[in-house]
Amino acid sequence: MKLQRSPVAPRIGLTPLIDVVFILLLFFMLATSFQQSHSILLKFSTGTAPNPQTDRPVLTLRLTPNELLFDGRTIRVAQLAAQLDQRLASEPALTVVVRGASMVSVQRMVQVVDQLRLSRVVDYQLDMDTKR
Amino acid sequence: MARRDPVFPGKRRARIVIAAGHDATANDDEENLVPLINLVFLLIVFFLLAGTIDQRDTIPVSPPRSISDEPVPDRRLVVSALADGMVYLNGRPVARGELTGALVREAATHAAPGIDSAMYNPGGSPDRRVVHLRADASLSLGQLRSLLVLIEDAGVSETRLQTRVP
């Protein structure tokens, strides 16, 4: 029997390629995350004294789950940056201590730290109120 | 001259186009698929370049939202703290009491010569040891502080709280 050779070269089908490509697409769609992560430095005061540099002015903010005390006055967290800007104008070397109650959520503390960032406070410390 | 249809003499008989052969139709089909494949490849390239594949994200932590724009390195030592009190070190569950020891062991592993030490010590400086804390936004400050004490006991000099964009 004589084998007849086809004059046309055998074609490679595109269908398996498409299958693989779709599986790759599915994998990357499911495995990829677009959530961007950033970070903030956690600076908790270590000793009993919140600020060892006593020559620098210190502003202590008291944070509870419901209120934020700035100089003994209750303010909203969103107002903090504006209040701090006023204070920083007269005292540029201000150290801010955020003293939070232990029940305050991490999110609330981060909101306060964000306000410090907005006012460009570089020197801040976190502290936990053990009394409450 | 066109032939008249015997049933409907007013109509021209429909012309039947005979395909040149099976091969030709297959060819046409495959040529139609090429733009689709191009598109799918572009999508793959997009997902490859625009996203990151991060195994640690499988731990169900929702970090606090923040305006912070300080980036986190790809390779890092991550302590995850869930709202229910579970603690993970680099994706593996760790008992709270064993976190300090586990961090010291992990640091020793990554500081070994030939192994990438960037995870724990990004600056290369021996006194700068960074741990990234992926804490749930609903954790309390008290829980965060007690976790931080455990982390600092392992000789960590800098603990960074991971946040997400609002």
Give the gap in angstroms from C-alpha B100 to the nearest C-alpha of chain A: 18
- The reported pLDDT for the residue numbered A52 is 54
Residue B149 parent element (H or E): helix B141-152
Number of A to B CB contacts under 8 A, please give it: 140
Query: In angstroms, rounded to a whole number, what is the distance separating the alpha carbons of residues B78 and B91?
Result: 8
Query: In angstroms, rounded to a whole number, what is the distance separating the alpha carbons of residues B136 and B125?
Result: 30
What average pLDDT does the structure give for chain A? 82
- The reported pLDDT for the residue numbered B161 is 92
pLDDT in tens, chain B (166 residues): 445 555 555 555 444 444 444 454 556 666 788 888 888 889 989 888 887 776 556 788 889 999 988 888 777 788 999 988 899 988 889 998 898 888 888 877 765 444 444 445 555 566 677 888 999 999 999 999 999 999 988 888 888 999 988 8
Tell me which chain A residue has its CA closest to the CA of residue B165.
A36
What are A33-44's pLDDT values in tens digits?
777 788 888 888
Q: Which of B34, B63, B159 sits opposite A42 (nearest CB)?
A: B159
Query: In angstroms, rounded to a whole number, what is the distance separating the alpha carbons of residues B149 and B156?
Result: 10
- The reported pLDDT for the residue numbered B82 is 92
Tell me which chain A residue has its CA closest to the CA of residue B72.
A38
What are A4-29's pLDDT values in tens digits?
766 777 777 788 888 888 999 998 88
Given an 8 Å threshold on Cβ–Cβ distance, is A34 in contact with B69? no
Give the ipTM of the model, two decimals please. Answer: 0.71
Pair B79, B58: CB distance under 8 Å? no
Query: In angstroms, rounded to a whole number, what is the distance separating the alpha carbons of residues A81 and B21?
Result: 77
Query: In angstroms, rounded to a whole number, what is the distance separating the alpha carbons of residues A42 and A59?
Result: 18
Query: In angstroms, rounded to a whole number, what is the distance separating the alpha carbons of residues B5 and B12?
Result: 6
Query: In angstroms, rounded to a whole number, what is the distance separating the alpha carbons of residues A52 and A63?
Result: 22
If interface means Cβ-Cβ distance under 8 Å, which residues of chain A face chain B? 8, 11, 13-14, 17-18, 21-22, 24-25, 28-29, 31-42, 44, 100-107, 109-111, 113-114, 117-118, 128
Cβ neighbours, 10 Å, residue B128:
13
Q: Which residue has the tokens 């409907």?
A: B8
- A106, A108, A110, A116 alpha-carbon torsion, rounded to 10°: -150
Give the gap in angstroms from C-alpha B60 to the nearest C-alpha of chain A: 13
Q: Is the pLDDT of residue A53 over 50?
A: yes
Q: Is the pLDDT of residue A83 over 80?
A: yes
Q: Which residue has the tokens 């982390």?
A: B151
